[in-house]
Amino acid sequence: MSLHKLRLAAVPITFSSRLFLKPFPNTLTLGLFSRHLQPHKPLLVRAFSASAAVQDIPATQASDSSARPQWKAAIDFKWIRDNKEAVEINIKNRNSNANLESVLELYENMVNLQKEVERLREERNNVAKKMKGKLEPSERDRLVEEGKNLKESLVTLEEDLVKLKDELQHVAQSIPNMTHPDVPIGGEDSSAIRKEVGSPREFSFPIKDHLQLGKELDLIDFDSAAEVSGSKFFYLKNEAVLLEMALLNWTLSQVMKKGFTPLTTPEIVRSSIVEKCGFQPRGDNTQVYSIDGTDQCLIGTAEIPVGGIHMDSILLESALPLKYIAFSHCFRTEAGAAGAATKGLYRVHQFSKAEMFVICRPEDSESFHQELIQIEEDLFTSLGLHFKTLDMATADLGAPAYRKFDVEAWMPGLGRFGEISSASNCTDYQSRRLGIRYRPSEPPQTGPKKGKANLPATKFVHTLNATACAIPRMMVCLLENCQQEDGSVVIPEPLRPFMGGIELIKPKLK
């Protein structure tokens, strides 16, 4: 069955001011969401995985065999072999269970088998050429028999080669991305603080956590949601609904000023897209909800469907960078999460989020990583949050990330910092799996044939992602940091125009 893909042409989009949701004085409009380096060190940057603006590549055929990979990543096995020591150290530093020795052994076997297949093909071609000439009957019979034997041997070896390539892909796809040389080595405790903004607010009255505030202000209902959907679900009510919409609309308005194109995305995707982005939809302790009887999953982040927009495409260099800000609901199993540190809104199964995603040239990805974390820091500073930005250590990096910055904000009700955002540079890890390349804008080179020009070779793009606003944890921060002695909660000034001018969430009159 062919998988037909819808692609967006990478053409700049101009938004009419009439379509953009502006702050308003007295009325609430929810239409937008109606459907809901220090000095440089040597860098080993290599990904393992695998219109005028967009050129399609033919869709791949799905395999009938469940044992075969549904997709193949453009893994540079020769690079892995030539940089074995660096790859081995990287796997160890990241606490990965990837089996490098098995990958190298399978690759060597594949190379040798490929040579044997090519040798037999050449012999078969030579036999075919000989049979075109004038031959004695006995010689012709001998060549026919030789050709038959070569064909049978070739069929067997080609089948073995296909199986070997599939096994190599399966084993090699577990190798994580390489790591930026400045990333701290070790577990989460080894992560380095890049920046700290503000200081904890001092309260002259007993602090309430967001659960108590949400109940007393009639903003959040966990009990009814538990009856309807199960634990770790919630209803937002009254001003909390307006606050969610205000956070999302304000975030979109701010990020769009930086040249980002807004998107809403599908919230159900094929399992293969989840895998290509570096997630394990059906692994142990997976965070992904899979739909039984289908090859589809609920998304845990808009990074996944946005990454798939330009899958199997060749972009023009002039179309880069592509910068998106995507709104979606997100669904996570939160397997293994338990304890007081995850109570309330801090860790839930379903939530709204605005996610930034960048597709760019390899040489630009580090600067875009800095841009993304700066946008996040500016947003949280504008809301008056006390937070710190961390350069996450090797063992805390997911397989796709070359480098990841986390933002942790102070949550006084919880009495600790909690992660509210992250920004990751995935270099070409995802693009090698998703098949996203670009063609450099170099002048075509004249080929050996008269009048025929050779286009520049394509290169894999780099992808980056960053959370602009994850609603539940922003709610935790705002409710707990902005609470007043009388039980009310002050709305940060930047959000007020997006809440119809509401400045204060007051206790309801009984």
Please give the structure tokens belonging to residue 91. Answer: 């796997």
d(CA 80, CA 65): 28
Q: What is the DSSP letter of 227?
A: H
CB-CB neighbours of 11 under 10 Å = 10
The one catalytic residue in 422, 432, 433, 480 is 422
- The answer to whether 428 touches 461, Cβ cutoff 8 Å, is yes
Q: Is 481 helix (H, G, I), strand (E, B) or coil?
A: helix
The whole-angstrom separation of Cα 7 and Cα 55 is 10
* Residue-by-residue DSSP string for 273-294: HHHHTT--TTSTT--PPBPTTS
Is 473 designated active site? yes
Of the residues 332, 403, 432, 433, which is catalytic? 332
- Cα separation of 241 and 116, whole Å? 66
The DSSP bridge partners found for residue 424 are 404, 465
List CB contacts of 173: < 8 A, sequence separation 6 or more. 48, 49, 50, 69, 73, 75
Per the listing, tokens 């796709």 go with 400
Residue 390 CA to residue 193 CA, distance in Å, equals 4
- DSSP track, 412-452: TTTTEEEEEEEEEE-TTHHHHHHTEEEE--PPPEE-SSTTP
334 is catalytic: no
Active-site residue (options: 94, 124, 347, 403): 347
Q: Please say if 7 is a catalytic residue.
A: no
Q: One of 419, 439, 488, 496 is an active-site residue; which one?
A: 419
User: What is the crossing angle of helices 471-481 and 239-256, to 10°?
Assistant: 110
Residue 414's contacts (CB-CB under 8 Å, 6 or more residues apart) are 209, 341, 346, 476, 480
Q: Which of 94, 270, 432, 473 is catalytic?
A: 473
Looking at 282-334, list the stretches that DSSP marks H as alpha helix, in order from N- to C-terminal side. 303-308
Tell me whether residue 49 is one of the annotated catalytic residues.
no
Q: Is 347 one of the annotated active-site residues of the chain?
A: yes
In terms of C-beta density within 10 A (0-12 exposed, 13-18 middle, 19 or more buried), how is residue 451 classed? exposed
Render the burial of 27-53: b for 16+ CB within 10 Å, e for the rest.
Answer: eeeeebeeeeeeeeeeebbbbbbbeeb
CA-wise closest residue to 376 among 260, 225, 228? 260
Residues designated catalytic: 332, 347, 419, 422, 473
